[in-house]
Amino acid sequence: QVHLVESGGGLVQPGGSLRLSCATSGRTDTSRFIGWFRQAPGKEREFVATLRWRGGNTYYANSVKGRFTISRDNAKNTVFLQMDSLKSDDTAVYFCAAGTTTILSMASDPRGYNYWGQGTQVTVSS
């Protein structure tokens, strides 16, 4: 079992920055990927970024590449999502997720993840 708790969401103006945190606990050693997804009202949950737990390789959605950075602090068992140059289209609830998939293509698919946090709201608006 893996427990995930997100924090750091809020209201920010276009062009601003936010850093989301995902505190992990439990059997994270069984996870292959720790990632971030987001869901806007009326839309499906979409992939944002993920990190391979062993090795640290990172992968990003094209829509956030160059603006968002996923990283981790092993000592604190925390995964971060640094979001810069935010746009109104980035407004959504952001979820942290842990998955055991070994198939790379599934690492960007919500079906590849077994555990989910409760989500944190990010609103980009002037």
pLDDT in tens, 43-86: 999 999 999 988 889 999 999 999 999 999 988 899 999 999 99
Count other C-beta atoms under 10 Å from residue 45's C-beta: 18
Choose among 73, 81, 100: nearest CA to 19.
81
How much is the average pLDDT of 76-101? 95
Answer for the pair 102, 51: CB distance below 8 angstroms, yes or no. Answer: no
Given a cut of 80, whether residue 29 has pLDDT beyond it is no
Beta bridge partners of 95: 37
How many angstroms separate the CA atoms of 29 and 6, rounded?
19
